[in-house]
Structure 1
Amino acid sequence: MIEKRTIEYIPEEERHGSVRNLFSIWFSSNMQITTLVTGALAIEFGLNLFWSIVAIVLGNLVGAVFMASHSAQGPKLGVPQMIQSRAQFGVIGAVLPLIIVTLMYIGFFAGSSVLGAQALSSAFSIPINGGIILLGVITCFITILGYDLIHRLERYFAILFAIVFLFVTYEIFRLPLPAGSWDPTHFDLGPFLLTISIVATWQLTYAPYVADYSRYLPSNTPASKTFGYSYAGTVVGTVWMMSLGVFLTAAIPKFLDNASAGLVKLVGPQFGIFMYFVIILGVIGVNVLNLYGAFMSVTTTLEAFTKLKGTTRARFWLVFSTAIVGTVLSVWGHGNFLENFENLILLLSYFMVPWTAINLVDYYMLRHGEYNVEAIFDVNGEYGKFNWIAISSYLVAVVLEIPFVNTTMYVGPIAKALDGTDLAWMVGLVVPTVLYYYPMKKKINIPSEGIQNERFRIEK
């Protein structure tokens, strides 16, 4: 059955599901070829195997803290992640991060589609463009059906992917590695920190997704469990797949020219078609999340101006239109996939990290999860049309990140001085935290003591 809710509040009588499902959805969404290719970038940057693994583990452990902290908001508020941004940016002001997030979803959709289409092309001799279109159709159908089907599929995918990639891991450990792969003395700070940045950003860019898949859980679900299952699922899945990408790129020359074909060659011809099938399912699994998130963000943006109703017909056309945009981008950009994908991840980090900082500071440090959900949907409500403290903090943080940027399109002066080290994501976390917290604390006049806090909530 088609999901009836879109961006509106989920009433308590409609809450359902197990918090344990959050592990499977974030585990399976990362057990796919795009994650593997992202980890492989560490070798492309010049790190050896030892320092690549260290950077991957550190980046995931840090980045996933922020991702899982967003997940814990879902059961408490019962609304999608990005519409909750209206409480920080204002009902109209939230359109700014919403546009960035929508571009992110579509970009990841396009990138994953290319890798899935490569697998389809290699397995069944389907042209790349034809494979991209076929994957878009399948993903569109699942997304239209919505939340419950997505959770159910990801549970089955998690079991299948764990079994298959245990076998793949065994085969990879049998490969010969270049000399010095495990030598800790071969260390280069610039590529090491750049890898940490990309890996942490991988987790940070999940921040707009996560509450969408926990918002149907009962409101009394412990935040520690929501956080813990989300954190464990995303860290285990991502570290596993990124590490496999590092091993394969180090051991197999030109592996990234066609990562899908390289995986199939590794498992042997007798398992080749099945491996392609698993790769394709992985792409479908993550692209459903990308398309679902893009649909929710587009709906949230339009609702601020049009009071769009979440009908089945509107759902179909919004999902379908968004899928077409992502599919066209896949067809257009697949020729230079690796360079385009690397630039996309880094570019998005500069815009998404400040949003993450503002959202988490507001939720955990200022309002302590206490929001007027009705006002989130009211352009004339208590959160207003624009919150210029949030908007200015966000824009200043993005501007201050520029000197720290290191991409193929542009390298900032501080990044050059630090031998290519990219610290922009750290700036994006610290600057808006300071710029937003103190003015907002004064504006909303939050009491500091326990009894005062309780009285404040009742009066409000």
Structure 2
Amino acid sequence: MEQRTIEVVPDAERHGTPGSQFTLWFGASMQITAIVDGALAVVFGADALWAIPALLVGNVVGGAVMALHAAQGPRLGVPQMLASRAQFGVRGAVLPLVLVILMYLGFAATGSVLAGQAVSRVLGLPGTAPGIVVFGALTAVVAVTGYRLIHAVGRVATAAGIAGLGWLLISVFVRYDVPAHLGNKPFDAAKFLLAVSLGAGWQLTFGPYVADYSRYLPRTTDARAVFRATFAGTVLGAQWAMTLGALVAAVAGDAFLADQVGFVGRLAGPPAAAFLTYLVVVTGKLTVNCLNAYGGFMSVVTTVTAFDGRSRIAPRARAVAIVAFTATAVVIAIAASADFLDNFKNFVLLLLMVFTPWSAINLIDYYLISREHVDVPALYDPQGRYGRWNAAALVGYAVGVLAQVPFLAQKLYTGPLTRQLGGADISWLVGLVVTGVVYYAWAGRDARARTGARTRPGRCPPAGAGRGAAAAGPVRPRARRS
């Protein structure tokens, strides 16, 4: 069982290769929810002929941003959201952390609806709710065990996903006249951009926890290799699943919308093939749901310790927190399983609004301002280099969120500029650009040289360490470059 929580992973415990990132993110992306995500592009009006390349554009752009976060893990050795204290301040980082926790709960709950359907079919349980409960228990066991088992499940999900979704893709072409369902609608820029947003949203929402699963890699691991492995795994896995979803929605229509999990089981063929397909669904969902539970726990601990000064918690408290998080997601899933497709689409687009500004701030600070130099012990010290709050990040984040409002295209609200664009949702692009410009202009001129420290390897503040321990040791500032 994993013993580490939010403290720095010591060099003696580092292990693995960049290839582990490929299988983890391929397995996490090549699953039933990504199929639904791809189907949404067609369900909401795009022709599959245009939806598939649009989803690819979104996956590539979002996957590149996501993989840049992953590359931070080996160098820093800390969870992703804890590292964002370097931008927002030790306590200022609580703002995006609260939103991240809500994101984990939302994805865990929506994913559990589909996984619960598959579990109920495999075990012959009455209704979806019992399946959701069983799936929640599986999630808790794997997430409590921790890092190594999560990666092992990812490897299994990769092999199962290639076989299962490969067979389903073949079955679509065997059972339906796919070419006859392509190119029947003219190109629609608004629908094309919606599909791009769905692909990008899938990838960008991994950003707040992707480095949690690369932080155990040896410090000497090539960051470019981590980037390539993560990018390839997440883009290939997601695009494969989303392409299948777009084709299924195009050829099956209402038959898929009424029962997504049941439809893929019937598409697989005879009962034995359907049974194996349901197992593939469960395995893929188990991988990503464990990421949600594990990342949710990390975010809760990072939030709490911003105020009490601890750098880790006891294993028993860790287990209790993960179980409580998973139980909450199960309750939400049981209560909110109706209108899944529409709710999921709006959920993903809403997350884009609040997480693209966070990504812009984190990446610009790490790669362009601090140039990959971070004072790791100061991440635990409210009195240290990064302070309690960082106005540049907090204001930039708020401006980035607000700048997107006129461009939103959601069920609850459509911005005035969105109507001028024919309904196209480009809010996430606006959020990236505006936030990046505001933050870089402000933080880049910060005379306090907040980002001038060199990364201090191997320093792990002891459990319960306060301000003095976290700030111990000399920090050599480097010359600032304007």
TM-score band by shorter chain is: over 0.9
CA gap 1:373/1:304 in 2 versus in 1, 3 angstroms: same
Find the aligned partners of 2:331 and 2:81 in 1 and give their Cα distance: 25
Which stretch of structure 1 is more off in the superposition, 162-171 or 46-55?
162-171
Measured against aligned partners, the alpha-carbon deviations of 1:271-292 in whole angstroms (never above 9, x if no partner) come to 1111111111111111001111
Which stretch of structure 1 is more off in the superposition, 160-169 or 365-374?
160-169
The aligned counterpart of 1:291 is 293
CA gap 1:444/1:166 in 2 versus in 1, 3 angstroms: farther
Find the aligned partners of 1:137 and 1:307 in 2 and give their Cα distance: 32
Find the aligned partners of 1:108 and 1:358 in 2 and give their Cα distance: 23
Gaps of 5+ in 1: 448-453
What is the TM-score with the length of structure 2 in the denominator?
Answer: 0.91
Q: 1:42 is matched by which residue type in structure 2?
A: A
Find the aligned partners of 1:400 and 1:180 in 2 and give their Cα distance: 42
The aligned counterpart of 2:350 is 347
The aligned counterpart of 1:307 is 309
Find the aligned partners of 2:251 and 2:478 in 1 and give their Cα distance: 59
Q: 1:457 is matched by which residue type in structure 2?
A: R
Find the aligned partners of 1:32 and 1:231 in 2 and give their Cα distance: 17
Find the aligned partners of 1:193 and 1:272 in 2 and give their Cα distance: 34
Find the aligned partners of 2:274 and 2:202 in 1 and give their Cα distance: 29
The structure carrying a bigger helix percent of its residues is 1
Contact 1:143 1:288 in 2 (8 A): yes
Contact 2:27 2:161 in 1 (8 A): yes
Contact 1:354 1:428 in 2 (8 A): yes
Q: Secondary structure at the match of 1:419?
A: coil
Gaps of 5+ in 2: 451-474
The aligned counterpart of 1:256 is 257
Find the aligned partners of 2:289 and 2:185 in 1 and give their Cα distance: 39
The aligned counterpart of 1:431 is 434
The aligned counterpart of 2:395 is 392
CA gap 1:214/1:314 in 2 versus in 1, 3 angstroms: same
CA gap 1:342/1:218 in 2 versus in 1, 3 angstroms: same
Paired residues for 1:158-307 under 5 Å: 158-177=158-177, 181-183=181-183, 186-254=186-254, 255-269=256-270, 270-307=272-309
Aligned length: 453
Contact 1:177 1:250 in 2 (8 A): no
Find the aligned partners of 2:376 and 2:178 in 1 and give their Cα distance: 56
The aligned counterpart of 1:450 is none
The aligned counterpart of 1:70 is 69
Deviation at 1:127, TM superposition (A): 2.2
Find the aligned partners of 1:65 and 1:257 in 2 and give their Cα distance: 34
Q: Secondary structure at the match of 1:250?
A: helix
Contact 1:91 1:304 in 2 (8 A): yes
Measured against aligned partners, the alpha-carbon deviations of 1:59-90 in whole angstroms (never above 9, x if no partner) come to 11111110000000000100010001100000
Q: 1:78 is matched by which residue type in structure 2?
A: G
Which stretch of structure 1 is more off in the superposition, 352-361 or 159-168?
159-168
The aligned counterpart of 1:451 is none
Aligned CA RMSD, in angstroms, stands at 1.9
Contact 1:68 1:228 in 2 (8 A): yes
The aligned counterpart of 1:457 is 478
The reply to whether residue 378 of structure 1 matches residue 381 of structure 2 is: yes
Q: Secondary structure at the match of 1:93?
A: coil
The aligned counterpart of 2:460 is none
Find the aligned partners of 2:266 and 2:127 in 1 and give their Cα distance: 20
The aligned counterpart of 2:462 is none
Q: Percent identity?
A: 42
Find the aligned partners of 1:163 and 1:181 in 2 and give their Cα distance: 25
Measured against aligned partners, the alpha-carbon deviations of 1:296-319 in whole angstroms (never above 9, x if no partner) come to 000100111123442111101111
Find the aligned partners of 2:349 and 2:479 in 1 and give their Cα distance: 43
Q: Secondary structure at the match of 1:283?
A: helix
Which residue, 319, 331, 336 being the options, matches 1:333? 336
Deviation at 1:170, TM superposition (A): 1.4
CA gap 1:23/1:184 in 2 versus in 1, 3 angstroms: farther
The aligned counterpart of 2:320 is 317
Deviation at 1:126, TM superposition (A): 3.1
The aligned counterpart of 1:81 is 80
Q: Secondary structure at the match of 2:372?
A: coil
Q: 1:134 is matched by which residue type in structure 2?
A: V
Find the aligned partners of 2:399 and 2:43 in 1 and give their Cα distance: 32
Find the aligned partners of 1:19 and 1:45 in 2 and give their Cα distance: 37
Deviation at 1:179, TM superposition (A): 7.0
Measured against aligned partners, the alpha-carbon deviations of 1:207-256 in whole angstroms (never above 9, x if no partner) come to 01210000000111111100000000001000000000011111113202
The reply to whether residue 360 of structure 1 matches residue 363 of structure 2 is: yes
Contact 1:129 1:331 in 2 (8 A): yes
What is the TM-score with the length of structure 1 in the denominator?
Answer: 0.95
